[in-house]
Amino acid sequence: MPTNSILISTYNWPQALDLCLKSVLRQSVLPDEIVIADDGSRGETGDLVDRFMAESPVPVKHVWQPDEGFQLSRIRNKGIAAASGEYVIQIDGDLILHRHFVKDHLNFAHKGHFTTGSRVLLSPQTTEALFKANCIDIKKHSVDDRNFLNGIHLPFASVHKLISRRYKNKGKHKYYVKGCNMAFWKQDLLKVNGYNEAFLGWGREDSEIAIRLINAGIRKQFLKFGGISYHLYHKEASRELEERNIRMMQDAVDQKIIWAEKGITEHI
């Protein structure tokens, strides 16, 4: 298996990050490194990370930047730059991971490909119950969750090429990804200069980097029936800049862009 780093983006939700980190430590195959990419959280998150560093059997890096609005692309680039692993497994800090999440991603890693997975959407009731119990036992507390089929774990099916390289890989789904559950070879991210830091506010930065990777000859594969994650409920972020971000995403398609003008080289 390649050396690997799990990259966790977070912002001012330590209660969710705590459950996420608990799920990382219960992995059947632990990552080689944990990189927490923090988009300007206040001190409570830092205190949580300090405690976690003292407990974790895995090296932990906390990459932080000042709060200057929604700057997910930039903090992810900083986290990728700090990551020492050959393979970067990217998640959001409001996910609870299936016990075999990391193992599935590593078994699925293929040169010349990047991976996207899916998620189960936890209901407000399930999320509240998990917070109240301070635990990650989804089955015990599950109520009215959505996309439950995404929680089916069939590891042999997940590595089948007919599924992984054809599912949601053509037509309108060609560039479909979920930025909260992706994995890349670090050398491929460097080839396209990482995330495009011109993206501000919520949305489309994950699709745009997928477009540039595909333009560079890196193929998308979909991890189905593996790499399962559970998304804690929260209200949607503001989408006031989404239209602008969609235009930049479309530019990457129309102009066959590979290289982000402002990207990871800013941090290396």
pLDDT per residue as tens digits for the range 171-184: 778 899 999 999 99
- Per-residue DSSP letters for 23-45? HHHT-SS--SEEEEEESS--HHH
Residue 162 scores a pLDDT above 80: no
pLDDT reported for residue 156: 80
Residue 161 pLDDT > 70: no
pLDDT digits (tens, 9 = 90+) for 31-62: 999 999 999 999 999 999 999 999 999 999 99
| Percent of the chain whose predicted confidence (pLDDT) is above 90 | 85
Percentage of the chain beyond pLDDT 70 is 98
Structural domain harbouring 151:
4-267
Per the structure, how many domains does the chain have? 1
In this prediction, residue 178 carries a pLDDT of 94
pTM of the complete model: 0.95
pLDDT at 159: 66
> Among candidates 165, 152, 182, which has minimal Cα distance to 8?
182
Residues 205 and 224: their CA atoms lie apart, in Å, by 22
Q: What is the CATH number of the domain that holds 240?
A: 3.90.550.10
